[in-house]
A = this chain, B = another copy of it.
Amino acid sequence: MQSTRRHLFKLAGGAALLSGLSAVQAAVPRSSIEKFDEQYDVVIVGSGFAGLTCALRCAEKNYSVLLIEKMTILGGNSLICGGNFACPGNPNQKKLGIKDSREIFIGDCTRDGLGINHVELLDVIYDRCNDVVALLRKYGCTVDDSHLGISSGHTAARIIESTTSDGSCYVLPMLKALKGMKNVTIMNRTKMDSFVIDDTGRVAGIAARTKYSFNSKLASDDADNTSGEQKFYGAKRGVMLAAGGFSRDTWFRQMQDPRVQPTMDSTNQPGATAGALTAALDIGAAPIQISWLQFLPSCNPDEPGYGISANFIEHACYRYGIIVNPKTGKRFVNELAGRQPKTEAMFAVIGKDENYPVAIGDSAAAKAVNPAFLTAPLEKKTVKVFNSIDELADFYKIDRKALRDTIEQYNAAVKSGKDEAFGKPMNVTNGIDLSKPPFYAGRVCPKIHHTMGGVLISPKGEVIHMRTHKPIPGLYAGGEVTGGVHGASRLGTVGIIDALTFGMVAGENI
């Protein structure tokens, strides 16, 4: 006798729990709970960019929306990120004489992404990023695209810069607009634990806890935090997963890369853990490229998180100066290499004994960048000033002669325009070498910045099931909780437009 899939269901099913052949897996069967505590058209998990643009689009359709955030502060990493986002095909590019295209944008992303990007998702960003700009403006955000910037890895000026140097210029107006809408409910300190699945296999809602109190002192907040009151929230049209990445999940990230010690710092807010991602995997969401972690190699081990010295280190020291291994006094990498190779080189130097490299720039470098970049780190002493190279060498316990030799070689390379040793593109140094005291230096290290992988989504923002290869009915996702958009490594500024775009797109499709 041949049994069909449907037959298997009946044999195995009994109740709503089936044999792993559909989305009807794990999570809470709808039939096991009497009724939902509250019912909405849409439930959105996470209050960063993807959650906010999704909520706005849903609210425009007069859907009732519940938007939950497990932390006390709304906005997630979106609030504290740099806030600059890529907008390829922006109409001002033409006015400004900038050549850009779908091919150039995707070429830039896939170069950094090592070719494993899901191009069908990058297409959506290219096609819809200007609709995102319109959406932001509609809800009171100032989006200044009169000037378009460029940063590492981009080959066309296409970056709209934040007016507040962070994401708050977009997060706060969107939150304000949503708070003013009658059909939108926003709840902080509310954590999703798992999905509620109806007997057709559809995501019908979530199991969550209100009055949740995130505890960063626990080894794993997701595994060990028992605070809060359980509630079941129904989602008639669908659930949007916009829960972000897991850069602060010490267990999950070290599983993927054992070199990432629990003590390794991150640029992320403390709530960036894998709980919501694993709840989606529990119901069969396809896991994609989860082992690619991205580090930001311009961080400083002497300050927490993203800190205040990364801009000076990146723009003054890496561009116009050098990074040396204090044990040898020598350079060891092209200071302007991409995030991934630079991180690998720095890890090799840091080793197990925390031998942090030292980044050095001179007064000409300091003058060539935004003066604000230096003020705060000098005040907090995370970047230090030295009257001579010898003084600097002594402070960091670097051999004086070795460091002087390194700088002599580097200055010769600036002069010749060719860095034989590491291939740094000397044309961007504008002739600035390391010769004009005072000298500035800070210790540097990579900090975990973005987790590239997550769940697989369709171009409509639907979450794809790993077994059926079809959308899981009623489940959408966008932003850092998804994977594939950026491949192995993300260009700066594309993470933000990714989240904004797929939040909006999912909101249109729910």
Contacts and interface: CB of A to CB of B under 8 A. Distances in A.
Contact of A289 (B220, B230, B256, B468): B256
A320 B218 CA distance: 57
A228 interface: yes
Contacts of A193: 8, 19-21
Contacts of A27: 17, 19-20, 25
A13 B252 CA distance: 26
Q: Which of A195, A230, A274, A484 has the most CB of B within 10 A?
A: A230
Nearest to A277: B466
6 contacts: A12-B28, A14-B31, A20-B27, A26-B284, A116-B257, A119-B258
Interface residues of A, number: 76
Contacts of A230: 3, 7-8, 11-12
Given A220-B469, A252-B466, A466-B281, A116 B25 contact: no
A467 interface: yes
A17 B15 contact: yes
Nearest to A254: B118
Contact of A255 (B31, B251, B278, B286): B286
Q: Which of A282, A468, A484 has the most CB of B within 10 A?
A: A282
Interface string A1-13: 1111101100111
A127 interface: no
Contacts of A278: 20, 284, 466-467
Contacts of A25: 25-27, 282
Contacts of A283: 26
A396 B194 CA distance: 58
A115 to B, nearest CB: 6
A28 B17 contact: yes
Contacts of A281: 281, 287, 466
A253 B442 CA distance: 43
Given A12-B207, A290-B291, 8 more contacts: A2-B228, A17-B17, A17-B32, A20-B278, A252-B466, A255-B456, A274-B466, A289-B291
Interface in A161-203: 193-195
Interface string A417-456: 0000000000000000000000000000000000001001
Contact of A469 (B2, B226, B229, B251): B251
Nearest to A468: B223
Contacts of A4: 226
A27 B284 CA distance: 11
A262 to B, nearest CB: 12
Contacts of A139: none
Interface in A67-109: none
A116 B293 CA distance: 11
Contacts of A286: 255
A287 B223 CA distance: 17
A20 B26 contact: yes
